[in-house]
Each structure stands twice: as C-alpha cells, then as structure tokens.
Structure 1
Amino acid sequence: MNKEILRPNRRLGQNFFVNPRLLRELVDRCALDENYLVFEVGAGTGELTALLVECAGAVISCEIDRRFAPLLKDRFAGVDNLQLLFTDVRKLNFAELAADRTQNRLAVLANLPYYITTVVLEQVMTQIPQTDRLGLMTQLEAAERLTAPPGTPGYGPTAIVLALWARVQSITKVAAGNFRPRPPVESCWLCLERRSDMGYAALLAEPGFVDGWLSFLKSVFTQQRKTLANALDSALRRAFDRETETAEIASILRSLNLDPQSRPGVAEPQQWLDLYCLLLQCE
C-alpha cells in the first residue's frame, strides 16, 4: 500500500482511527442490522466501511479525498451492498440517495473533520429526518455544545432541534492515541437515537419541517442578546415576512409560559417547538 496515499491531509482535517478493537465496540453500540441503509461519512482507508458492510443491509460511503479511490475500489471489489461516492458530503442530497431503497431504517456513521460536525448533523436532520441512529466521531467540546441545556453558552438552534429529535445514548471519550496523527483536541464518539416514540416524532419527520424550524431558530438566535420579544419580532419579519404588534408577541410568549423580557437562551426546546407550531398556524 502506497504510504503517500495513507498520509493524512491536514487541510481536510484528516485523523485516521487506528484502533480496530475499539472501532468495532463503537459500531456495535449502534445496533445495526440488515434492515439499515447506512450513510458513512469519511471512508478513509475503509476500516469503518469494512465493519458496516458486514452488519448493514446497504452502505453508501462518501469520501472527499480521491487519493483513496483506488484503494477503496480494490479493497471492496465485489461487495454488492456498498456504493462509494468520492465527493464533499456537504454536496450530497441524502434524501435522493435514500429514496426507493428496500431497507426500512436509516443510520449515519461518520469519522469526519471536526469543523463540519454541526453542518453535517443539520444536513441529516433536515434532509433525512427519519434517520434512526447516528454515530459521530467528533470533538468532545462540540458534542457538549450540541447537547447543551438551556441557559448554558453552547445552547442554540442545533442543540434545541437535536434535543427533541434524538436522545443521547452515549458520549464516549476517545483518547488521542487512537488516531493518526494525534488530534490536538479531546475526541468522543457521540451515539444518538431518534425519539421515534414521542408524540411530536411524526411532525419532526415531515419533509421540510425541521429545515423551516431550524431556519427560524437561527433568525431568533442572531438576536440572542435582545429580549425574547424583540428577538422574535425581528425573526418574524425575516422568517415569515410578517409585522406583528408588540402586544401580540408578548401574548403569544406568555401563552407558552415564556417571559417576553427574558433572553432566547432560557426557553426549553419543547417551548421553541410549540412556539414555531403556533406561528405556523397563524400564517
């Protein structure tokens, strides 16, 4: 195997996982079977890919670095439940790729550059909100931010949607010695399972709903230093192209037990969902 091919590309944020035993343990926690279509982000040399094709019904693996194309095509020649894509994951349309598949469950597993963790997670939640399981190798700080509770610095739009969309099964710290090269930050394996048993699960799985809700939340949180009433006023104009009287905004917030003079970061995820649904009904 050409050592030049295996040299990590720092520009792409590559850190290869080099502990096969631990990798298998982490994959096992996702409880995949032949009913799953699995999207893999960051195939690299194919270590994770090899485990996925063993346990899943079908695997679509994405790798941005075309240096790995010959290696991966040779390694998985004849593997009929694997589709290799050599492109930037941010350009993928997950919904189109998942359409008309015989597998009835979806999972996403990724050892991806840490700086695109939030982007890819939002992409999954908006494009394929029916995804059942996620396993993400990411920076520990990013995982803590994504799972941050109200009133903490990391709490924001992605954390709000994620809190209702999925439950955290586990956050497993992964030592730097398990990677080549060693990353300069703490890493973890974030394992998530969609909240399919909740009353709002069907709503969140509707095409376009999470996308609209997330856009609305981002409009509010760009004004997070303002009072909730003022931030909502600005967001309504941007997201709904709607002028609303101050008294009406205050009334809407109080109906959800929210103080109009509080800050956006104190509202619970369920309150944000109820607020968005209420605003949609007013349209």
Structure 2
Amino acid sequence: MSTTAADLLGPAEIRQLADKLGVTPTKKLGQNFVHDPNTVRRIIAAADISSGDHVVEIGPGLGSLTLGLLDTAGAVTAVEIDKRLAAELPATAQWRAPAVADRLNVVTQDAMQVTAEDVAAPTALVANLPYNVSVPVLLHFLATFPTIERVLVMVQAEVADRLAAEPGSKIYGVPSVKASFYGKVKRAGSIGRHVFWPEPNIESGLVRIDRHPEDQRSWPQDAQTREQVFPVVDAAFAQRRKTLRAALGGHYGSPAQAEEALTAAGIDPKLRGEKLDVTDFVRLAGVDVAEE
C-alpha cells in the first residue's frame, strides 16, 4: 500500500511537533511516538482498512498513524487524553494531509471513559495502545462498540502473545479468553524498538481481532452475557495451579457446587482453566446451580 494524499511523519517532523508543543513523552501515559512511515503503512495494511471504514484510533499522540488512517479510511475518530496533543491533531492533518483532513474527528477523553455517544458506529479499531492500559482499553472498546468488525493494535510483545495464546498454552489466560469472547485473535507481526521515539525498553507486537459474526457464535456479546461469563473466567485463572473444582469453589459457593456446574456443562472438574476455550466458559456460565 502506498499513501497518496497524506505526507507521513518522519523523525524530524516528530521532533518538530514535540518541540512546538513542549511535549516530553511520559511513562505515565505510555507515550512512545512512531516515527517510521513504513511501520504506519504496515499497520494499516494489516488492518485491511478501506474507504468504507470509520476507524477509531486510541492515543494518536502526534498523529503518525492518524495521517495514514486518514489517507485510507472514510472517516477517523481519534481519542486522545492529552489536551495539547488533541488540540494540535487537526492542524497536523491540515499540514500533512490537507486533501483528507476533513475526515478527522478528535475526541479529547480518557479512552476508558469513552461511551457510544462519543464515537458514531466505528467499524474498525486501529491503534498503538498505551502499554500500561492496553488490555482494559481494548476490552472496553470491544464491549462498547459492537459495530467494530476488525481490530489491529500494537501492544507490548508479551501482551500480544497472551492475547493470541491458544488453550493449553502456559501463557493462555484471562486476556486470551476475554478477547476471544469477541472474535478470532491472532498475532499479526512484530515491531522493533527503533521505530519509536523515545525508544522503549520492550519489543512490540501486532494483534488482529476479527469479530465473530452473529451466525457463527452461540452467544450474544451483550452486557448480560459478559457479566455472566467474565467472572467465571477471572475465578478460573485466579489460582492457575488449582483444578477447576477448587478454583471455582468461591464463585459457586463451594467446590461441590462448582463440580455440579462443571459436570452439567460437560467439563471435567479435574481440568485447569487453561484447558478451556471461550465456548466452554460461555457454556459453563449458563449453567444454573441450586444453592446449598
């Protein structure tokens, strides 16, 4: 893919913008700015963005990825908590991508506080997520916006591995199950440290999620179902080395009641949580167990 309307930011432009705004990247906000145009192009290509998409971007920073998204998507909503960065983003779009700058909408907000009223029916989520809140933010957006069909996010490599882990893996756990509640999760590549300013101490990874079509899953992705399933997932992995019978004892009231629920769901009570896939957890959460 090659850009046409947008002139992407390189290291010199990133420093120029940062100096203009008096911005010093902070660990608190997880700010590491991408300064490599080829990485931006790679992310957008991996997300399969087209002119029919309304993309929501979280933490656009100085606008590196935003410019590439404007060049490809029909509309882009950028959610930025830093008021200085949010205020500058439209000017950057006019400077580097004047032909498509009108596709941009900026929401100055904490991503975890964003509601469906703030962003109108996005079809895709593409972002370089702040590493310190990547999983909660990802799950919040998947829950809040059922219109999101595809996700392509850059996160810490270790987090990317956990999100995409399969049942039975040592790193399979709560993030793996909760992400797969919404869609098919896979690793979509690795990103080196040198494409960022400042250069982080950790490697990054790309994760893609394709939402499960309604006719290909056996559960609704609504709040009620989520509130049934997610506490069971949390309990199953809270004490990884315990069998499900023991680990879920607190959730169901006793190990005996947990065993009753597991048996009713067709799950061996002696298994551990890492052996169950999301369909198992959904089935288990739907079992009614009488109180003792």
Shared fold (TM-score, shorter chain, > 0.5): yes
If the length of structure 1 is used for normalisation, what is the TM-score? 0.82
Give the Cα separation in 2 of the matches to 1:168 and 1:176: 23
Determine which of 59, 69, 77 is the counterpart of 1:42.
59
Partner of 1:274: 283
Q: State the secondary structure of the residue aligned to 2:158.
A: helix
Residue in 2 that maps onto 1:97: 118
Following superposition, the deviation at residue 197 of structure 1 comes to 6.5
The equivalent of 1:241 in structure 2 is none
| 2:281 equivalent to 1:264 | no
One-letter amino acid matched to 1:181 = P
Tell me what 1:219 maps to: 235
AA paired with 1:132?
A: E
Q: Structure 2 CA distance, aligned partners of 1:279 and 1:132?
A: 32
Q: Whole-Å Cα distance in 2 between the matches of residues 128 and 3 of structure 1?
A: 32
User: Any gaps of 5 or more consecutive residues in structure 2?
Assistant: 1-15
Letter in 1 for 2:110: D
Residue 252, structure 1, aligned to residue 269, structure 2: no
Distance 2:255 2:30 in 1: 48
Aligned to 2:166: 149
Tell me: CA distance 1:64–1:123, structure 2 relative to 1, closer, same or farther (3 Å): same
Q: How high is the TM-score relative to the length of structure 2?
A: 0.80
Correspondence for 1:229 among 245, 248, 268 = 245
The within-5 A match list for 1:199-210 is: 199-200=216-217, 203-210=219-226
Answer whether contact 2:80 2:111 (CA < 8 A) is retained.
yes
User: Which amino acid letter does the alignment assign opposite residue 92 of structure 1?
Assistant: V
RMSD: 2.8
Tell me the alpha carbon deviations over residues 211-248 of structure 1, each in whole angstroms, 9 at most, x when there is no partner. 442233223433444331233231135xxxxxx782x5
Report the AA paired with residue 231 of structure 1.
A
Corresponding position of 1:240: none
1:1-283 equivalences in 2 (<5 Å)? 1=16, 3-4=18-19, 5=21, 6-76=23-93, 79-93=101-115, 95-99=116-120, 101=121, 106-196=123-213, 199-200=216-217, 203-237=219-253, 246=256, 249-279=258-288
The Cα of 1:86 is off from its aligned counterpart by 2.0
SS at structure 1 position matched to 2:248: helix
Write the deviation string for residues 2-37 of structure 1: whole angstroms up to 9, x where unpaired: 543353223322111111122112202211223322
Q: How many residues align?
A: 269
Change (3 A) 1:262 1:183: same
What are the ranges of 5 or more consecutive residues in structure 1 without an aligned counterpart?
Answer: 238-243
